[in-house]
Amino acid sequence: MQAKVFLDTAYAIALIIKSDTFHKRAIRLADILTRQKTHWVTNLKLEDFILNLYLMLQ
């Protein structure tokens, strides 16, 4: 069974905004979750779009 992780709006913002205080941490976490093939669950379709775009760019 594939692991699922809930990622909130603050994470999505930190992931895409380079000046965000937590940007580097968000990138590291994204790399870890991607390597582990974790399913990312969010609360908004916009976040799904942003996170999928990030994954495609990796």
pLDDT at 28: 97
Rounded to whole angstroms, what are the CA distances from 38 to 2, 6, 28, 31?
Answer: 6, 10, 14, 10
- Which residue, chain included where needed, has tokens 């790399």? 31
Reply yes or no on whether the pLDDT at 9 is more than 70.
yes
pLDDT at 15: 86
With both helix axes pointing from N to C terminus, report the angle between 45-57 and 23-35 in degrees, rounded to the nearest 10: 80
**Single pTM value for the model:** 0.69
pLDDT in tens, 14-57: 888 889 999 999 999 999 999 998 988 877 676 677 777 777 76
49 or 10, higher pLDDT: 10
Q: What is the mean pLDDT of residues 11-15?
A: 86
